[in-house]
Chains A and B, each alone.
Chain A
């Protein structure tokens, strides 16, 4: 056979095609081991996973196509599948064979996809997964009978236990030897396809499965009108708690580790801007990337675990109605909740939202959720300027202000989602459908691998941008420098250097724009610096006020209170300006890390640019109103 001769010279290429939850990922991991390379298809945010077939004498590249119920492209995922199968995607070489991966418990749906794959005319093999579940439910799996009916090779496997894998490894090396499908009359539409599916199903006895009683029993509790909502609340509370508190020790350790590394470097290296670049630019930048890892690891462990077990779809089922009110979906809930810790992992978590429109809407409103980086800013300003009193003797005013700020963020996120749905993202809502798969035990190895992939994707694609911007911001805050003066204390010379820097010049230049909000140039510098990360404004203010360190919270609070304008003799900064600044932080997208992740997840800088602009406009307007109203009320 001439095709065989030609194929010796290049790797064999096969693709796995199947529905979500069909066990495709488990199968892919079993086939390729640790060789998988994860990337993106050019121009879209669809993940591309490819690996080399393990222990194969002939090189075989296995492509894991996105999970799909259909090969006609409506979503970006399906478009990729359609184009790759047709050999029409630039940069992808022709496939030598297609491996259809079907869950053996849902053949009466899955065979419809297989029928569509027949149209490609390429060699096809069928892999039936979850055959252990079929047996447990009193069914029979007879690959040879199915093979005789379909004409193509059919194998049954239990992917995570390695059952039935050897023959699969063998046949994948030689797709051109696969037997051809039987000749079938054309099936122009779904009705014709499924008429064929029903006929095949009858012949192999696929209808005889007993109901999955375990899933039924669990669902009676987890989807119960009352108990279901309670369980949902508990799971979300646990998730919230884990990313909010459990990640903190690891984040602090990373922070402290890099601080210590900077201190050691400074002690060992000669003074000068090169050392500063290393310690305050590079080390601080790498630290600011790595500090996200604990949250990302914990959040994605949760998400993948809930996904693998089957609860993620149930959680979305429970909360879908509520999210639907603002044009989002049940699956938007977990990403938005995660944003209370940090928008970076939250936006990454939107990958679980299948429909592209709702996913984009969720990404765009995510930065409004009050992330933990805003908390130090709120705490400082509230402690410094909001009276330490209580209303009616029970509710503390300071706590009330903090709560109001959180509420304002969440309300704006939901309101913006509704607004986006009726303006920018208007159109026919995508047909909402979501499979509720049977509950299944997770496999730890797969879980670990999925979490590792998420972490690596963040480090590679967002990490580099975050590192670069933090070095640029360091440059803005450090150059040009003030003339050295040995008479100054370290804190005073830090202040002098900051005042001479480009960032200070930007702060002064910003003054006319931010004066109506009650901010002076010092806040302007802080706003510029906080582009690296919101909480950086606290450190920058500490530097501006020549407070020894950002840890000297009381010192900074008192310095802010005591700052008096030399010309007017009035306090530079009071309650109205403090409230305005808090409100500014509620709305503004002061976070280049979030923008980097947005760009990576949407595939373009257009969306982060748009989000930055409208959030800035909103922040300015809201701060202006807050300052003007509060000034009049307190006058």
Chain B
């Protein structure tokens, strides 16, 4: 199980990307202390301030397709859950 705080709204109003509705837009927020954005995702353009959107979930629920910076990629739910976003 993930720590409960990942599911909660942060002091800056950020939520877990996993809690964002399909089709809704959001901006990547500053990561929570101790849970930095993995370097690999940062290289792919996941940096604070970047706008993104959940396009869809895979037929079996996971992975999750995202759109950001004009391209689409998919991540597994565990990584999506760890990302913090500010809903638009």
| Residue ranges of A at the interface with B (Cβ–Cβ < 8 Å) | 69-70, 72, 74, 105-109, 112-113, 189-191, 194-195, 197-198, 206-207, 209, 219, 223-226, 228-229, 317-322, 324, 330, 431-437
Check if B59 sits within 8 Å of A223, measured CB to CB: yes
| Residues in B19-67 with C-beta less than 8 Å from chain A | 38-45, 47-50, 56, 58-63, 65
15 A-B pairs, CB-CB below 8 angstroms?
A109-B71, A190-B43, A229-B59, A317-B74, A318-B58, A318-B60, A431-B40, A431-B41, A431-B79, A433-B40, A434-B73, A434-B74, A435-B71, A436-B74, A437-B71
CA of A37 to CA of B49, assembled, Å: 44
Nearest residue, chain B, Cβ from A103: B71
Check if B62 sits within 8 Å of A74, measured CB to CB: no
**Number of contacts between A and B (CB, 8 Å)?**
106
One of B43, B47, B63 near A317 (C-beta < 8 A): B63
Check if A225 sits within 8 Å of B59, measured CB to CB: yes
CA of A437 to CA of B48, assembled, Å: 24
| Residue ranges of B at the interface with A (Cβ–Cβ < 8 Å) | 38-45, 47-50, 56, 58-63, 65, 68-76, 79
One of A219, A229, A436 near B73 (C-beta < 8 A): A436
- Give the chain A neighbours of B43 by CB distance below 8 A: 69-70, 72, 112-113, 190
Check if B59 sits within 8 Å of A228, measured CB to CB: yes
Name the distance in Å between B23's Cβ and chain A's nearest Cβ: 12
Check if B63 sits within 8 Å of A321, measured CB to CB: yes
Nearest residue, chain A, Cβ from B40: A431
- Give the chain B neighbours of A74 by CB distance below 8 A: 40
- Give the chain B neighbours of A69 by CB distance below 8 A: 40, 43-44
Nearest residue, chain B, Cβ from A436: B72
Check if A191 sits within 8 Å of B71, measured CB to CB: no
Name the distance in Å between B43's Cβ and chain A's nearest Cβ: 4
Check if A433 sits within 8 Å of B70, measured CB to CB: no
Check if B62 sits within 8 Å of A321, measured CB to CB: yes
- Give the chain B neighbours of A224 by CB distance below 8 A: 59
Check if A317 sits within 8 Å of B45, measured CB to CB: no
Name the distance in Å between A417's Cβ and chain B's nearest Cβ: 17
In the A-B complex, the 4 residue pairs with the closest CB atoms: A190-B42, A321-B60, A108-B69, A70-B43
Check if B76 sits within 8 Å of A432, measured CB to CB: yes
CA of A70 to CA of B43, assembled, Å: 6
- Give the chain B neighbours of A321 by CB distance below 8 A: 58, 60-63
New A-B pairs, 13, CB < 8 Å, besides A109-B44, A207-B70, A318-B59: A72-B39, A105-B70, A107-B70, A112-B45, A190-B39, A197-B45, A317-B58, A321-B58, A321-B61, A434-B74, A436-B72, A436-B73, A436-B74
Name the distance in Å between A317's Cβ and chain B's nearest Cβ: 5
CA of A206 to CA of B39, assembled, Å: 25
- Give the chain B neighbours of A225 by CB distance below 8 A: 59
Name the distance in Å between B58's Cβ and chain A's nearest Cβ: 5
One of B49, B50, B73 near A433 (C-beta < 8 A): B73
